Structures are given as C-alpha cells and as structure tokens.
Chain A
C-alpha cells in the first residue's frame, strides 16, 4: 500500500572484504524493521536473489574499483541511482582494499601477471575517482552512528 512512497535502496559490493555490508546487517538487528517502513531493499545479494537495480533512490556501495569490471559496474550503478553513497574507508579512500597501490617494485612484479589476466586497472580507485559520489561514510567497517545519521537523512 505504501510501497510507492518507499525509497528504493540497493546495496552493492565492489572489491573488498564486504565487512561494511556485513556490519550493516548487524546494524539491521536494531534498525531493519523501522527502516523497512520507509525503504524497499531492491538489491542486496546477501539477502535476496531477485535483482532490481533500476530507479534506485539510494545506492550504498562498498569496496574499491580495482578492475575494468568494477568500473563498468559502478558506472551502471551511478546511472541508475539518484543518490550514491560511498560506504566505508575502501570506497571513500581506496584503502585498505587498494593496498596494491602502495606496493614497491618487488611486490608489483609478483602481482603483475594476475593484474593483466583479470583486467585490473593500473590503480585501485576510490569511488569518487570513478564516478560522482553524493555522500561518504568513513570507517573500517562503517561507523555505526555516522551510518545511521547519513542513511536516515536520505530515507526521510
């Protein structure tokens, strides 16, 4: 009945340990039922198989853009989302998941072949270096209070 006015939210993981979305499921322990009054979770592979990534009001994205595939995906998410929020330190700063950016020549030599085989970008990117980002939530994993404050701003 109220579905129409509910915000369509998608949660996406690029290259990372998915610690932020897992931590988000812990925040859900206290907040999910309240938020479900205001949102419809239309994309979150950890919680549903059915995938709707069209007309998103809010896209929460964790991880870094490390490969061509990640880059194509974040561009697609950007196109579909009114608001894109970078979730966690990886998405905001490219670290720690982009730790290869800080490797020395010896370390780089070891991983070169893998980078090539799997079409990695020259550097792992923070989201804002790939697309326009509307908001950011720092933390490894995301800071709980900050997440609630920022996310609720877009839900209301």
Chain B
C-alpha cells in the first residue's frame, strides 16, 4: 500500500463523561499529530470560590462534576479541615468511607456496564443487547442501585450529596434503613463476581510502560494515606503538587500534568497495581485468581481493576455496617480561621488533590489536580503508539480509518475519562 494522508476526526467521543473531540493527522503513512481536545466549556470555579466561606466551598466544587461530585465534595472538605485544624471524629471518617464506597460502586458500575460492556459484546449500547443477554441490563441497574441506595442512606443523595459537610455529617444515619442496604449489597455481590469474571476474560490488550501513581490507603478506603508511585516514590498528600508539572495544550479547554517530569497514570489500575494487598479480606479471597494479574501494564485491566474495586467497596461497606452503630454528633470545629494546606483522596478516576488558602474563614485561593487531567498526557502517548502501529500495519485507507476510530475510542474509554472534571484545571494564582 502506498503511504497515505488521512485526517481522522472524532467529534464528541461517546460513552465517556463530558465532551471531548479527537483529531489525528497522518501524512505519508506516518502519524503527525494527535490532538485530544477537551470540549467542555470552562465554568470558572476558582474565581467563583474566591471569597466564599470555608463551609460553603465544598458544595460549590461538588458542581464541578456530576458523576464524581462526592469525590470533589469529600476532597475539598478534607483540604478545608487540614487547613483550619478541624479534626473529624472517628465516626465521621467511617461514614466518609461508606460515602466513598457508594460512589465507587455506582460510578464504576456506570462505566463498566454502560460504557465498556457494549464494546466488549460488539453492540453500540447496553440498550441494544438482544433478549437473551438482557440479564446484563438487569445486573447493571441492580448494582448501580445498590451503590445509589448506600449513597442515599449515608449522604442523602448520590449526586451533590447534602449531608456530608466540613467537620462531620449534618444528619444522623437512619439505623432502620441499614439492614435493607446490607441485604441489597449482599444480593448484588454475585453479580459483581460475574462482572469480574467477564472482564478477566477480556482479550483486549494494550501495553506501554508508564508510571502509576496512587494514594495508598491502609484499608483501601480511598481517603487517607501516602501517595506512592511505581517508581518507588512515597509522598505526603500535602506535598503532591510539588511533584506535578502542568502541561498546557493550546487547542483544548483543559491542561495535563506530568509527575516527576514524565507522563503517568492514576486510577483503579494504578491503585490495584500499587496497593492490592490492602483490599478487604473477602475480596482477596474471592478475587485471588484475578489479583495475580496486578501490577499490570495492560491499560484494559483498568476495567478489571474497577470491577474488583466494586467488590471491595461492597465487602468493606458490609463489614462496617454490620459492626457499627452510629450516634448523633456535633461537627468538629476549626482551631483557626486562616491557613494554607492541602489534601488528597482517591476519586474513582484517580488521585484528586485539593489545596486551599483561607483567610479569616474566607477562601483566598483554591487549586486542584484532577485525575483525568493527570491522565491526559499518558492517554495521548498511548493513542500515538496505537495509531503508529495501525499505520505501519499496511491496511487500506478506509479500513485504517475505521480501525483507528474503533481502537482509539476503546482505549480512551478504558481510562474512564471525565471531561467535565478535566476542564477545571483551575488557573493558579497562588501568592
């Protein structure tokens, strides 16, 4: 085949969160340019946050993202608390774990069942499964609903949760509702095992050596720990920013990051690769044959990692709910009203870092590093490798275009990117 010129343009990638376009330019059979363009219109949260009361800012940033609003809420609350010397009670921390688990269950389930499984089974949408595969739709809705109901119980709602606040929770847990939630979690557990089995048999493979970065928590609860990398780094949460370097893409409403001067990956694959030993004992027992696959360089194992994290979230939630009673507590109070500090949590898509500067109780500045933004450079390099490989395979032009669109969309989807989030890199005016 003679060397071809080809422009591949994907407008609005589907089955991801938010809007992104992808332009690929091939000249003389060689990849010249890959532009992954985050097309979300910026909503200017850092300007909006400035001057706000420290108590209100978590609910504001919750609106950065619909699907992982609980991650933004929780991450920002942690940064406010660390900045003002607020010490949440042990019960508050336990409840927050449950809130994070509710998020992981429903958010990962949305990605796996709605976004990825259709590709896996060769249909466009979960709605297109033939009658004899309708079980998948039932499973999807049941698993999501279990996460949703856990969110409702703990935080009041799955999206823009009203009960979780700076210093504690505004409502006491409704103890009467706990047994039904436990029962529902147990009921969907076998469905999740089936999901894990499905993804463990996924033949897709794409490997490119990269650096994994994740907050490694001692009980895999996504909240408190040390940030680790596969290169062997171990960093305090508050120091994370010092290792990041922002990369500006002139054609996009988002910017990316490098860690220690190189591209890296955050998310479920990074967490499982760096911290699988701390998963719940029941999860380790039932997922033992799948866990040996991690650390894994195959990006598609991110899907398997997410499915295992759903199982862990169920197992640890059940244990907490069965062994605790929750009492009414007053929210913890600030020690001071001015300060500067930061915190990090693991959002579904990876490490979410919030740093705050507060003066007299008002937010002076806010900056954050969002998981998808941290993955953008890595995604781009993966896309380059895939496209270069396809170009070198010597296939006809129209076939090449089809393959590129299919393979690249599939790869980007495996990262579970969230473009709503990625557009909010928050210009830093830190003084």
Chain A residues within 8 Å of B, Cβ to Cβ:
13, 15-23, 25-26, 28-30, 32-33, 36, 41, 45-51, 66-67, 70, 96-97, 99-100, 103, 107, 110-111, 114, 118, 120, 140-141
Contacts and interface: CB of A to CB of B under 8 A. Distances in A.
Select the residue from A16, A22, A141 with max chain B CB neighbours within 10 A.
A22
Contact of A107 (B50, B69, B110): B50
Point out which of A15, A19, A23, A67 has the most chain B C-beta atoms below 10 A from its C-beta. A19
B63 A21 contact: no
B206 interface: no
Interface in B118-168: 118, 124-128, 137, 141-142, 144-145, 148, 157-160
B66 A19 contact: yes
B18 interface: yes
Nearest to B134: A33
A23 B158 CA distance: 8
A23 B66 contact: yes
A46 B66 contact: no
Given A25-B144, A118-B41, A18 B420 contact: yes
A17 B72 CA distance: 12
18 contacts: A13-B19, A15-B43, A17-B69, A18-B17, A19-B66, A22-B67, A23-B159, A28-B141, A29-B142, A32-B137, A41-B125, A41-B127, A48-B15, A99-B48, A110-B427, A118-B41, A118-B42, A140-B160
B253 interface: yes
B47 interface: yes
A103 B69 contact: no
Contacts of A19: 63, 65-67, 69, 159-160
Given A21-B66, A23-B159, A29-B145, A45 B15 contact: yes
A23 to B, nearest CB: 4
Contacts of B50: 107
A96 B127 contact: no
Given A25-B110, A50-B124, A70 B41 contact: yes
Contacts of A140: 63, 160
A112 to B, nearest CB: 11
Contact of A25 (B43, B48, B114): B114
Given A17-B63, A19-B159, 14 more contacts: A15-B41, A17-B420, A18-B18, A18-B420, A19-B69, A20-B66, A23-B66, A26-B148, A29-B144, A33-B137, A48-B127, A110-B47, A114-B42, A118-B42
Interface residues of B, number: 47
In terms of DSSP, what is the predominant structure of the interface of chain A?
A: mixed
A19 B65 CA distance: 7
A40 B105 CA distance: 27
B44 A50 contact: no
A70 B409 CA distance: 24
B67 A48 contact: no
Contacts of B12: 45
Contacts of A18: 17-18, 65-67, 420
B64 interface: yes
Residue of B43, B48, B137 contacting most chain A CB atoms (<10 Å):
B43
B40 interface: yes
B151 to A, nearest CB: 9
B14 interface: yes
A17 B65 contact: yes
B106 interface: yes
Q: Tell which of A45, A49, A99, A103 has the most Cβ of chain B within 10 Å.
A: A49
A15 B419 CA distance: 11
B126 A47 contact: yes
A16 B424 CA distance: 12
B69 to A, nearest CB: 6
Interface string B21-54: 0000000000000000000111111011010000
B281 to A, nearest CB: 29
Contacts of A50: 124-125
A73 B197 CA distance: 41
Contact of A46 (B43, B114, B144, B159): B114
A30 B145 contact: yes
Nearest to A36: B127
Given A25-B110, A29-B141, A33-B137, A97 B160 contact: no
Nearest to A44: B125
Contact of A45 (B14, B65, B141, B253): B14
Nearest to A119: B41
Contacts of B114: 25, 46-47
